[in-house]
Chains A and B, each alone.
Chain A
């Protein structure tokens, strides 16, 4: 194949594995990127919106509330996706994009108040951000907790940043099972 194909094809698996921790650190750096969460409507169509995300290992956490449509979506269909886009980073490639990571995974809803309180404590300890809306008593907090099945990252591969880095195995999660 030609130069266009070569400049965009998936990187070798061993190189992807070597970049795995860099990618995880990138999405965990919550102030350096913006996160968007994809869920599925009841009619099967996908929808995406901006969210906050807090990573613990490869597990992505997003706080929502029962009023939000996305909560009903996840309850109905656990397939979700996250897209992280870097803020103020260097641009790469012909399209002049900032680094970006897609993660497809399965989500569960955590509604237990004690688990939620523990989550806010851990997040406050790590980022300084506890419950973002402590003043709102009408806000029923729910945690969307997502474990990845597939990750696709662009902008990370050395001199050929348009080549996609794809991760399909998450050893840390396998070990935890």
Chain B
């Protein structure tokens, strides 16, 4: 945990260099791609007044594209249609902690979401998700709402708990 902490606080908190960050890319990708097993995910959207709000969501990650199923009546759908700026926070719920305040691995990503309305595309999404995770449409018997898909491409990623101490890894390319 906090053993061998550097003498200056900052030395344990500054971002790692780009080369060291690249070496951790696959590990970070695997972490955010865990489907519900131990990685919790929260989605940020923008309210009409320009302030952010977050709530728990499920995510399914393909490549570096983060996807969340929603429903036409959800407030977050209005938010994303109005402003495609979104972010996700991924938090490890199992540990172990990497620093004294008890924090476990966590990743923030910022990006832009598009809302997919096409029901054929959404049906394909459920098929792929089911094949990968076993989870098809979570509400197959509720026909009272229209399924929608948020598909987010990333512009920025910040990961903590992967490099030494509390030093973040920053990634900005996702090809």
Interface residues of A (CB under 8 A from B): 1-5, 8, 31, 34, 36, 38, 44-50, 52, 65, 67-68, 79, 81, 83, 85, 87, 94-98, 100, 102, 104, 132-133, 135-136, 138-139, 149-150, 152, 154, 164
Q: Which of B10, B14, B87 contacts A139 (CB 8 A)?
A: B10
Minimum CB distance partner of A32 in chain B: B102
Whether B42 lies near A94 (C-beta < 8 A) is no
CB-defined contacts of A67 to chain B, threshold 8 Å: 10, 14
CB-defined contacts of A139 to chain B, threshold 8 Å: 8-10
Q: Which of B56, B104, B110, B158 contacts A49 (CB 8 A)?
A: B158
Cβ distance A137 to chain B, nearest Cβ, rounded Å:
9
CB-defined contacts of B103 to chain A, threshold 8 Å: 34, 50
CB-defined contacts of B57 to chain A, threshold 8 Å: 95
How far is A82 from B8 in the complex, measured between Cα atoms in Å? Answer: 26
Whether B55 lies near A102 (C-beta < 8 A) is yes
Whether B52 lies near A38 (C-beta < 8 A) is yes
CB-defined contacts of B106 to chain A, threshold 8 Å: 36, 49-50
Whether A149 lies near B110 (C-beta < 8 A) is no
Q: Which of B9, B42, B144 contacts A1 (CB 8 A)?
A: B144
